[in-house]
Amino acid sequence: MLLTDSSESSIKSFLRNLSPVDQVGADSRAAMLATRSIKTSSKLWAIDTAISMIDLTTLEGADTPGKVAALCTKAVRPDPSDSSVPHVGAVCVYNDMVKIARDHLDKNGGNEIPVAAVSTAFPSGRASLDVKKRDTEDAIASGATEIDMVIDRGAFLSGNLEKVFTEIVCIKEICGERAHLKVILETGELVTYDNVRKASFLAMAAGADFIKTSTGKVSPAATAPVVLVMLEAVRDYFVMTGKRIGVKPAGGIRTTKDAIKQLVLVNETAGPDWLDPKLFRIGASALLNDLLMQRMKMKSGQYSGRNYVTLD
């Protein structure tokens, strides 16, 4: 057991005992891993693996049933001309689109693909716990089996760690066996890697199944060093508890090169066990098409063009 209880002092002393993170050192390790040269067969493997890890996402005020339906079609069959392309890891939408997404996936052969809902007053998290709970309950009732909640960054930064912790515990209780809980740290607002490491452990100790970098609404989002720090955290947490927690970078990962760098980070930080959609997801939308274009290039030897992949 990591915490004696969930009191403020217990949480604080637990987090204080974590090793600090040196920013320059973490940056330089991430930069070194970015020089890995992934070619030929390993690149093809990485592209398919990355596709299978995508949480294909639309989180816009302008989202419509039509837009979500198109996204779901793409999720099931990313490349209509090539059935060897795997389906994505999940579809990620706002609460009110969960049912539409679930129905569309089920009707189009995507019943294995989970629907993830962003929850708890996403993206700011500025609502009462009661609203956050109902938000979550509603999403699960609509068919979401993955909940992407946000932490209360204001509470974290003001030192009210118990509040952050308790909220996660409450949402986890609601999820129970019905849904996987991804906890969004919004690392761009936490700013320091020390905070990223602390928030990661806080979320894991409170019951997160996944820790996720960002909402996608704040920049910077899933930078390589931030993902590195979170991967180190899940690795260390596994050593402490024997429990594997997943990691989900989201935001800013748009190209095949970016995605492969993420896989290298996973491979050489948390280790190969995490190279699995159960333990690593990439929150993205535009990324999928770039992966598909690269995949076509690998297969045909020609560079592809944007009109040879479907828009959505």
Partner 1 sequence: MRVDVKKTYKLFIGGQFPRSESGRSYELLDAKGNFLANPALASRKDLRDAVVAARAASEKWASASAFNRSQILYRVAEVMEGRREQFVSEVMAQEGVTKAQAIKQVDAAIDLWVWYAGWCDKIPTIFGSTNPVSGSFYNFTTPEPVGVVAAFIDGSSSLIDIVHGIAPILSGGNVVIAIANEEYPLCAITLSEVIATSDISGGVVNVLTGRTEELTPWVASHMDIDGVDGSGLEMAAYETLKRDGADNLKRIYRFKAEGSPQRIISFMENKTVWHPIGI
Partner 2 sequence: MKFEYAPAPESTAIVDIQSEYNLFIDDKFVPSKGGKRFETINPSNEKVLSRVTQATAADVDKAVKAASEAYRKTWSKLSGAQRGKYLFRIARILQERAREFAVLESMDNGKPIRETRDTDIPLAAAHFFYHAGWADKLDYAGLGKNPKPHGVVGQIIPWNFPMLMLAWKVAPALATGNTVVLKPAETTPLTALLFAEVCQQADLPKGVVNILTGDGSTGAAIVNHPGINKIAFTGSTEVGKIIAKSVASSKKALTLELGGKGANIIFEDAPIDETVEGVINGIFFNQGHVCCAGSRLLVQENIKDELLEKLKRRMSLIRVGDPLDKNTDLGAINSQAQLMKIRELAESGDAEGAQRWSPQCQLPEKGFWFPPTFFTGVSQAHRIAREEIFGPVLSVITFRTPSEAIEKANNTPFGLSAGIWTDKGSRILWSAQQLKAGVIWANTFNKFDPASPFGGYKESGWGREGGRHGLSAYLKGDFS
- For binding to partner 2 (CB under 8 A), which residues are involved? 19-22, 24-26, 28-29, 35-43, 45-46, 49, 232, 239, 263-264, 267-268, 272, 275-276
Q: How many residues line the site for partner 1 (CB under 8 A)?
A: 7
Active-site hit among 74, 198, 248, 261: 248
Nearer to partner 1, 27 or 162 (CB): 27
Chosen from partner 2, partner 1, none, partner binding at 109 (C-beta under 5 to 8 Å by type): none
| CB 32 to partner 1: min, Å | 13
Choices 18-26, 115-123, 170-178, 285-293; region in contact with partner 1 by CB under 8 A: 18-26
From 2, 7, 9, 25, residue interacting with partner 1 (rule: CB under 8 A): 25
Per residue, the 3-state secondary structure of 7-70, as one string, reads: CHHHHHHHHHCCCCCCHHHHHHHHHHHCCCCCCHHHHHHHHHHHHHHEEEECCCCCCCHHHHHH
CA-nearest of 14, 10, 1, 6 to 198 is 14
Q: Which does 192 bind (CB under 5 to 8 A by kind): partner 2, partner 1, none?
A: partner 1
**Cβ neighbours of residue 126 closer than 8 Å, sequence gap 6 or more:** 154
Taking the CA atoms of 297, 301, 306 and 312 in sequence, report the sign of the dihedral they define.
negative
DSSP-derived letter for residue 280 is B
Chain positions 171 to 200 lying near partner 1, rule: CB under 8 A, are 191-192
Which lies closer to partner 2 via its Cβ, residue 87 or residue 132?
87
Task: Compare residues 26 and 93 and give the one whose CB is closer to partner 1.
Answer: 26
Q: Is 278 a catalytic residue?
A: no
Chosen from partner 1, partner 2, none, partner binding at 311 (C-beta under 5 to 8 Å by type): none
From the candidates 55, 79, 135, 148, which is the catalytic residue? 148
Cα angle: 102, vertex 166, 212; to 5 degrees? 50
212 is catalytic: yes
Q: Between residues 186 and 232, which has the closer beta carbon with respect to partner 2? A: 232
**Among the residue ranges 19-27, 96-104, 109-117, 296-304, the one whose residues contact partner 1 (CB under 8 A):** 19-27
Only one residue has tokens 């390993």, namely: 42
> Going by C-beta distance under 8 Å and a sequence separation of 6 or more, which residues neighbour residue 151?
125, 164, 167, 168, 183, 184, 185, 186, 199, 202, 203
Which residues lie closer than 8 Å to 176 by C-beta, 6 or more apart?
Answer: none
Cβ atoms of 126 and 148 closer than 8 Å: no
Options 17, 19, 24, 305; binder of partner 1; rule CB under 8 A: 24
Residues tagged active-site: 148, 212, 248
